[in-house]
Amino acid sequence: MRATSGTGSVWEQKVGYSRAVQVDNALYISATAAGGEDGLVGQDFHTQTRCVLNKLDTVLADAGFDYADVVQSKLYLTDISQWEETGRARGEVFGEIRPTRP
């Protein structure tokens, strides 16, 4: 089984991608930014990371999954010196689940 889902973003159609693609019992999720209707959400990396993780939660739930089903996650930073703030946000969500980080 292969199913796709989107958020309705104009970019999904323009660029030709899906927010998520489910193949059997695996869900593949596209990269997500901390963007909102008015641009970048929050002024700090912790807030921005939590925004992305909240979006992830919605995508997972829409497909019948949750954080506990995540086996791998990637995080890209524009300022590596902020790794602790992003790590703190990630730990708040994945602290007990502990997916891999390539």
Instruction: Identify the structural domains of the chain with CATH numbers, from first to last.
Output: 2-94 (3.30.1330.40)
User: For residues 29 and 60, what is the distance between their CA atoms, to the nearest angstrom?
Assistant: 9
What tokens appear for 2 in the block? 């292969």
Are the beta carbons of 45 and 58 closer than 8 angstroms? Answer: no
pLDDT at 100: 95
Which pLDDT score is estimated for 19? 87
Tell me the pLDDT band of 61, cut-offs 50, 70 and 90.
very high
